[in-house]
Structure 1
Amino acid sequence: MNTTFLYIYTVLVWGSTWIAIKYQLGDISPMVSIAHRSGLSALLMLAVMLPARRLTRLSPRDHLFVLAQGLSMFSVNYLFIYAAAGELTSGLIAVVFSTMVILNIINGALFMGVPVSGAVVVGAVLGLVGMACVFLPELRALDFSPAAVRALVLCALGTLCASAGNIIAVRNHRQKLPVLTCNVWGMFYGSLALYLLAGLRGETIGIAWTAEYIGSLLYLSVFGSVLAFWAYVTLIGRIGPDRASYTTLLFPIVALLISTVLEGFQWTLWALVGLCLVLSGNWIAMRRNRV
């Protein structure tokens, strides 16, 4: 499929999932909701892939790497981010999580020998500065209390986990493992791990039988996981983890644009400057590998 479409789809869908995630918060613990999302995504993919015989057999060694990808990309990273959400605003979380674009450049070079592109580095720096400008009020309000520092550390750990998952996805791509097969097993492993952890913690494993919860779960599972992670992991294989991770700088912008329409978000001069910097950084990072 056209790489440009995959890139735009990833940005737009992950930029809109924050609305669906809102409806997941309530009586069901975040850990269980994340497990539901990954588990349902795996079942949906299996329902399509098994009759079509698209599920490829993996070696035990490959399963270990897919397990690592599933834990870092589909489950544990979300746990850290959700845990940080109690003390940090969504803007601060977006700023911290967007540092994955730098982590992917470093980790890709260290562990997978991915060449460091000057254009990507410049684009990433511009993007991060732009994100800081967009969420400047949240940065100024940060009080660095013990609870806030703990939340920042948790958010950073979640970002590091996500970056590790990106690098493992590069390894799996180089081994020519099918993206969908890796995703279905990764989501299954991630979901199982979260269910087991929830059981050990004594949390109730249930579902809120409301239209909002079920509708958001379906949206997150189908569009935000099955299709978006397929698109994103495919991008990692095509344009590298550094360029693919630039989407983490763009989907908070999409979220703010949606918030402008639905919630009356007011754009400040700094936010507009930040938007220009993020878009400029994206153009610089992608111009040599046109997506």
Structure 2
Amino acid sequence: MTLQKTMTGRAWAEMILLGTIWGGSFLAIRIALDEITPLTSVAHRTGWAMLVLWGVVAVMRLPLPRDPRVWIGFLGMGLLNNVIPFGLMAWGQLHIETGLTSIFNAATAIFGVIVAALFLADERMTTRKAVGVSLGFFGVATAIGLDNFRNFDIRSLAQLAIIAGTLSYAFAAVWARYFLAGLAPQVAAAGMLTGSTLITLPLAWIVDGPITLDLAPATLGAIGYYALIATAGAYLLYYRVLAVAGSGNLMLVTLLIPPVAITLGAIVRGEALSPNAFAGFALLALGLGILDGRIWAWLRRRR
């Protein structure tokens, strides 16, 4: 079982801030999608965040990697951790609610455990992990709803696209272990965003036309939020929280994101989720809690 670091008040505050920032990103993306396409929204997100993070690297005077293998790693990481999940989730948000997207996004940790067990020798599947993953899968299936399995439509496809995005995140974590181990996190994040921008910028230009900033103020504000704050700023905050709270505690951020996204979606866009979405999130949260280790330890003590 993963040992948990003791959480200080500051660590809790920073973790709640990170969950709130990421929770708000779902609404910001949906607002931008009222005017721009999913592909262009991803190009904005990775491009502007890339510039900010390279600025941070320059200010910190961090050494740049010279090994070509690392730069290949950046390109693969950008594809798996940005291009595929950002693109699939942005497209999916055109057809389902903001809050529901955030619930499916919480399944990232579930798929991460499975993929890590398949490809990493030190991440074997234990009984605790198997129970947590199983509950997580039941939660995802419940959130989708049986009707969407019986009557396959664009909404069903959108939900599956978002789940495929979470699976891509899981493969990205394994890719990072192989190609980016030992790098300063700021350099790794900037390099990853460079790799994704090298893919999304020309692709969006070809498919959607030249990238423009001649957009409505609401769209520009949304892009600024999800690119500069919820991507560049959140990456920096993420690594800070990871250092003070540990990876075990950081999983709790996953549970903070959906309530923020659901609330904002309801207030700003009038979204209402079905009861099965909330039931699915409850099961998914229980599965994540077991993966976290604390609930499992409590059950073992009770037994």
Interval of TM-score (by shorter of Structure 1 and Structure 2)? 0.7 to 0.9
In 1, the alpha carbon distance for the partners of 2:239 and 2:120 equals: 16
Instruction: State the one-letter code of the partner of 2:209.
Output: E
Alignment of 1:130-209 (within 5 A): 130=139, 135=143, 140=147, 144-145=151-152, 147=154, 150-172=157-179, 175-201=181-207, 203-209=209-215
Instruction: State the one-letter code of the partner of 1:198.
Output: A
Query: Contact 1:112–1:171 (CA<8 Å) still a contact in 2?
Result: no
Q: CA RMSD in A?
A: 3.7
In 1, the alpha carbon distance for the partners of 2:99 and 2:141 equals: 9
Query: Contact 1:31–1:79 (CA<8 Å) still a contact in 2?
Result: yes
Aligned residue number for residue 86 of structure 2: 78
Aligned residue number for residue 212 of structure 1: 218
- CA 91–225 in structure 1, closer or farther in 2 if over 3 Å, else same: closer
- Consecutive unaligned residues of structure 1, counting only runs of 5 or more, are none
- CA 109–281 in structure 1, closer or farther in 2 if over 3 Å, else same: closer
Instruction: State the one-letter code of the partner of 2:120.
Output: M
Instruction: State the one-letter code of the partner of 1:76.
Output: I
Query: Contact 2:105–2:163 (CA<8 Å) still a contact in 1?
Result: yes
Alignment of 1:262-273 (within 5 A): 262=268
Any idea what the Cα deviations from partners look like across 1:24-74, whole Å, max 9, x if unmatched? 113322212211111111111222321331253341111111211111112
Alignment of 1:98-113 (within 5 A): 98-113=106-121
Are 2:136 and 1:119 equivalent residues in the alignment?
no
Deviation of residue 177 (structure 1)? 0.9
Query: Contact 2:77–2:176 (CA<8 Å) still a contact in 1?
Result: yes
Instruction: State the one-letter code of the partner of 1:215.
Output: G
What SS does the aligned partner of 1:201 have? helix
TM-score normalized with structure 2 length: 0.75
Aligned residue number for residue 13 of structure 1: 21
In 2, the alpha carbon distance for the partners of 1:58 and 1:257 equals: 45
Query: Contact 2:40–2:208 (CA<8 Å) still a contact in 1?
Result: no
In 1, the alpha carbon distance for the partners of 2:289 and 2:44 equals: 37
TM-score normalized with structure 1 length: 0.78
- CA 160–211 in structure 1, closer or farther in 2 if over 3 Å, else same: same
Instruction: State the one-letter code of the partner of 1:29.
Output: T
Instruction: State the one-letter code of the partner of 1:116.
Output: M
User: Greater shift after overlay, 158-167 or 189-198?
Assistant: 158-167
Deviation of residue 268 (structure 1)? 7.4
In 2, the alpha carbon distance for the partners of 1:207 and 1:18 equals: 21
Percent identity, please: 22
- CA 261–139 in structure 1, closer or farther in 2 if over 3 Å, else same: farther
Aligned residues: 285
